[in-house]
Amino acid sequence: MQGKKIILGITGSIAACKAAYLIRLLIKKGVEVQVVMTPAAKEFITPLTLSTLSGKPVISDFFTRRDGSWHSHVDLGLWADALLVAPATASTIGKMANGIADNMLITTYLSCKAPVFVAPAMDLDMYAHPATQQNLERLRAYGNRIIEPAEGELASHLVGKGRMEEPERIIDLLEVFFATRNDLRGKKILITAGPTYEKIDPVRFIGNYSSGKMGFALAEACAQRGAEVELIAGPVSLQVTHPRIRRTNVESAHEMYAATVASFPKADAAVLCAAVADYRPETQQESKIKREKDEQLTLSLVRNEDIAATLGTMKRPGQVLMGFALETGDGLVYAKEKLKRKNLDVIVLNSLQDEGAGFRCDTNRVTMIDREGELSFVPLKSKQEVATDIAAKLVTFLK
């Protein structure tokens, strides 16, 4: 982190007191820190304290003098290597998510070209509220990195999730980010994500609960490390923002198979994260099936192409192939067997029995198994953080 330039955004939370320690830790790492604080943040910590620690005047208002001078949020956004908003209140998160540029911090955020990190801090009910969760999801979709809050005693004296992550942990995450930014530079990574829909008729399909969040997080993680990413996505509403991600949308397993097989020969590695349907209806009706007097509707299903097995036979020396296995029980034995049978280099196992893991969750817990038999356990954390660990495993094989 030596020589990096970081904007530290501070908002009106009791956790603003942690910003002083955060600045000290950043300065010790050789970081140049520019504090931008909201008016409400001044009620919790003084600009004098922050300016003394950072060695720079604190920016809070657009205009500090009446001589025509002003603070350029555009220049700030171009200056920074990263923007870190810590603490980030529910109000600021809502403004960031919806582009409400009514203070210097939000205008700086909207102008910023650098990666953005957001460390929420609020009471547990505010954090759990659907509005806050929707705003956080929108920020993730924009490509922002959410530093998950911790659980513990809050300012209300209630106990739950909402405490801003500790400064030491935030520094660790920033160090990992800057240390790994270019270790996939020049590599072409193929990633599949999301579900597939197998049509029954024009209005019905066979599908699954995959949200695509894990695959999209992996695409962002690889692109952040310098890779050119080919993302083949099933029908999901998620968006990608990184310029090094090229997205191809598909719907059915056959469409995903065709797109993946066509792209694989040009890739250095493929990560097969999509939840591809194993079967499809043998026939697809051209018009909507009407509910008749019959009590039952019988569907005849046929097997779809096996993408992982096909790529396993196509794999050339030096290419890396990573697959996923989602199980409802202890799938370690099955995952190891699948690793060998499909000629994978790494398989990522997760279980729907693990609370907070699997479909539709923002968190995950996985076990990575490589062709040498080494097991790497990744504890429950955000899918963005899990994606960082998986990308790091990919780097070791590509080296």
- Active-site residue numbers? 208
Q: How far apart are alpha carbons 331 and 347 in whole angstroms?
A: 11
Q: How far apart are alpha carbons 325 and 119 in whole angstroms?
A: 31
Q: 395: helix, coil or strand?
A: helix
Q: How far apart are alpha carbons 96 and 137 in whole angstroms?
A: 12
Report helix angle 253-263 to 307-314, nearest 10: 20
Q: Which two tokens stand for residue 83?
A: 């923007």
Sheet holding 145-146, edge to edge: 32-37, 5-10, 82-88, 116-120, 145-146
- C-alpha distances (whole Å) from 298 to each of 79, 173, 277, 294 are 63, 52, 18, 10
Longest dimension (CA), the chain: 82
Q: How far apart are alpha carbons 300 and 89 in whole angstroms?
A: 53
